Structure 1
Amino acid sequence: MARTLKRTAAFAALGRALTAGARGGPSLGKRLGALPRMIRATARGEYDGGLRLALMAAATAYVVSPIDVVPEAFLLLFGLADDALMVTWLAGSVLSETERFLAWEAARPTVVPGHVVR
């Protein structure tokens, strides 16, 4: 049940992102620009997206790996449907996680490094 909800949330995020321009949400460019910052913040331990980033990396590796050629070689329709589902999930997950990251980033207090002068 929880897996179905997560998949549903990823697909819903994809739908929201595709219509974000009309509703005033973050643009696709802002979301993609947030990816390097999200990875950096996760690597530093500031942001809690480690598992989600690992799942997205695994999905990307699966789609581009030679292992993925096996379903296409024997079951063409299943192999292509498998890729389409994985890419759609990956796109929805990236959009959902970047939306979450941008909200987290906006809620953080901004601190300018420097010295206090009295």
Structure 2
Amino acid sequence: MRKSNRAAAGAAAWKMVYDNTQQGKPSVAARVKALPRMLGARMRGQYQELSTSKIVLFLVALAYVVSPIDLVPELFIPIFGVADDVGIVVWLTAALLGETERFLHWERIGADHIEGEVVS
């Protein structure tokens, strides 16, 4: 990737993170910190919105990216070999960001109900 493309991608990612915090959405750091809490709440049976099949999909995707065994090997077809890994990483990242945002919303609503406030 060219240096100018990396800089543009970095700037776009920073803008997305910064704009999300300005719009009242959780930051990427807050979502990353929520991941262990989300999994813990799911294991304790408190958070039912995260299905077992999604957890399995996340683990399979993570194993695929980390594994040295590849569907399309980089050695034989370099562009497509990297593209499948990038596609899986993008999907996994987007899915985890979405799930953690829903979890943070669930936590906020749960806290509001505990305090006796009505959430609209």
TM-score w.r.t. length of structure 2 = 0.70
DSSP 3-state at the match of 1:68: coil
Which residue number in structure 2 is paired with residue 47 of structure 1?
Answer: 47
SS in 2 for 1:55: helix
Q: What is the CA–CA distance in structure 2 between the aligned matches of 1:90 and 1:45, rounded to whole Å?
A: 23
AA aligned opposite 1:74 = F
**Other-structure match for 2:114:** 110
User: Superposed, which structure 2 residues align to 1:25-64 within 5 Å?
Assistant: 25-48=25-48, 49=50, 50-64=52-66
* Counterpart in the other structure of 1:11: none
The count of residues paired between Structure 1 and Structure 2 equals 97
Q: Secondary structure at the match of 2:74?
A: helix
Of the two structures, which has the highest relative contact order with CA contacts closer than 8 Å and spacing of 6 or more? Answer: 1
Aligned-residue sequence identity (percent) comes to 46
- Aligned-partner residue type, residue 61 of structure 2: A
1:93 is aligned with what amino acid? A
* 1:1-118 matched pairs, under 5 angstroms: 18=17, 19-48=19-48, 49=50, 50-68=52-70, 71-108=73-110, 109-110=113-114
What letter matches 1:31 in structure 2? R
Any gaps of 5 or more consecutive residues in structure 1?
Answer: 1-13, 112-118
TM-score by length of 1: 0.71
Give 4+ residue runs of structure 1 displaced > 3 Å after superposition: none
- List gaps (5 residues or longer) in structure 2: 1-12, 116-120
